[in-house]
Chains A and B, each alone.
Chain A
Amino acid sequence: MSYLADVGALARKDLLLELRSRDTLPAMLLFVLSSFVVFHFVLPTGTDRLAAQGLLWVAIVFTALLGLARAFSAEREQSVLDGLVLATRDLSAIWFGKALSILAFLALAEVVALPVFGLFFGRVELRTVAAVALADLGIAAVGTLLAGMAAASRARELLLPLLFLPLVIPLVIGGVGATVADHPSSYLGLLALYDAVFGLVAWGSFAYVVAE
């Protein structure tokens, strides 16, 4: 129970920081809406509706990347991460709390973005929403760990997309498949499998990312 209390305290702190500085979520929202406008001009008239559905996933992945790049910026200033490492009993709680706050930002951005996408490019089906929800879990789990890695390196923001994109290709495949295929269930299954496998690996290995 006290583990969850730690996770709660850490996630609450991230939301508080965002509420105060308001720099991540508005940026993510603006980015995802701008990318929709770009998509309109990328897709020539008469292009299949499916093409736009695929591009939705490009928007989601890059919007998430935008949020993840800033995930540990507050900790890096003043090297707060050292303080958290000393204070937190189980270091995976730091990952858990951060992943929850990333998940919240991503979900909030999508609550706005998906209806707008529907408005611009045609109806968003329920299976797409389910796929986005499942993919968000995987993106938050893997992305938080990789953001922690990138924060420890000299290259930082430059490194994160390089680490992140090859790892989320299965999520993109699952997401696009669930959106456009005739039988989405196996693709939704793939997304759930990804969440389970990578969630566990990230949860188990985060302690090594922040401590020697």
Chain B
Amino acid sequence: MLHASGLEKRYGNRRALGAVSFDVDPHGFLVITGPNGSGKSTLLRLCAGLAVPTGGELRIDVARERVGFLAHEALVYRELTALENLDLYGRLYRVEERRERIGMLLERFGLWDARHKRAGAYSRGMLQRLALCRVLLHEPALLVLDEPHSGLDDEGLHLLERELAERREDVTVVVATHEPERVLPFATSRLALG
């Protein structure tokens, strides 16, 4: 699914990621750990197809629109409601039976009652849950998660773990985290940076 060898990313003369190699099989689960500044986020942006490597090789066997990317920020419009945000993404991803799918996700992540509220008025935990809805909306084949645990409350953590356990057989997952013990039960491989 993912194949990297000697992967390197530079910005000008600054090296953000140096010579990383790994393989992730289909339905594999890669856990990336490492201190701040070790290049975790850079590596995830590469895996999501948002950045291109400056050296080495990276093969991603999945189209860009089949990737679900959870970033540090929620990637939603603050002035739009949760429903409007997900509707826009649903249209762009061309999700079939969009309304039903959005309703189901909002329900599952406990945001249904707040669906007409502006995303800007959400708490950090709710925003992170909305971001998870956005990530899962188009049933991605590759999940790229950057620090999914930060900002999530206990209920959110529980929902995320349930989601990962349920979809274990359908998706390939790359996750960078400060709390590897939370996802290690799912892990098929591990990569330590820095």
Expressed in whole angstroms, the minimum distance between the Cβ of B149 and any Cβ of chain A is: 19
In this complex, what residue of A is CB-closest to B144? Answer: A86
What is the CA–CA distance of A10 and B144 in the complex, to the nearest angstrom?
24
Contact B80 A83 (CB under 8 A): no
Q: Of the candidates B51, B78, B80, which one forms a contact with A212 in the assembled complex, judged by CB atoms under 8 Å apart?
A: B51
Contact B65 A5 (CB under 8 A): no
Cβ of B52 < 8 Å from any Cβ of A? yes
Query: How many A residues are at the interface, by size bracket?
Result: 20 to 34
Contact B69 A89 (CB under 8 A): no
Contact A85 B50 (CB under 8 A): yes
Name the prevailing secondary structure of the A interface residues: helix
CB within 8 Å of B: which A1-49 residues: 2, 5-6, 9-10, 13, 16-17, 20-21
CB within 8 Å of A: which B12-67 residues: 48-52, 64-65, 67
Q: Of the candidates B73, B76, B77, B92, which one forms a contact with A17 in the assembled complex, judged by CB atoms under 8 Å apart?
A: B77
What chain B residues lie within 8 Å of A85 (beta carbons)? Answer: 50
What chain A residues lie within 8 Å of B92 (beta carbons)? Answer: 6, 9-10, 84, 87-89
What chain A residues lie within 8 Å of B75 (beta carbons)? Answer: 78-80, 82-83
What is the CA–CA distance of A89 and B64 in the complex, to the nearest angstrom?
8
What count of chain B residues pass the 8 Å CB interface test? 27
Cβ of A197 < 8 Å from any Cβ of B? no
What chain A residues lie within 8 Å of B116 (beta carbons)? Answer: none
Name the prevailing secondary structure of the B interface residues: loop
What is the CA–CA distance of A62 and B54 in the complex, to the nearest angstrom?
40
Q: Of the candidates B69, B77, B84, which one forms a contact with A82 in the assembled complex, judged by CB atoms under 8 Å apart?
A: B69
Cβ of B79 < 8 Å from any Cβ of A? yes
What chain B residues lie within 8 Å of A89 (beta carbons)? Answer: 65, 92
What chain B residues lie within 8 Å of A125 (beta carbons)? Answer: none
Q: Which of A10, A20, A80, A86 has the most CB of B within 10 A?
A: A86
Expressed in whole angstroms, the minimum distance between the Cβ of B59 and any Cβ of chain A is: 17
What chain B residues lie within 8 Å of A82 (beta carbons)? Answer: 50, 69, 71, 75
Contact B89 A16 (CB under 8 A): no
Contact A13 B51 (CB under 8 A): no
Cβ of A74 < 8 Å from any Cβ of B? yes
24 A-B residue pairs with Cβ-Cβ distance under 8 Å, sorted by A, are: A6-B91, A6-B92, A9-B92, A17-B79, A17-B80, A77-B78, A78-B74, A78-B78, A79-B71, A82-B69, A82-B75, A83-B71, A83-B76, A83-B134, A84-B92, A85-B50, A86-B48, A86-B50, A86-B64, A86-B65, A87-B92, A87-B93, A89-B65, A211-B50
Taking beta carbons and an 8 Å cutoff, which residues of A are in contact with B?
2, 5-6, 9-10, 13, 16-17, 20-21, 74, 77-80, 82-89, 211-212
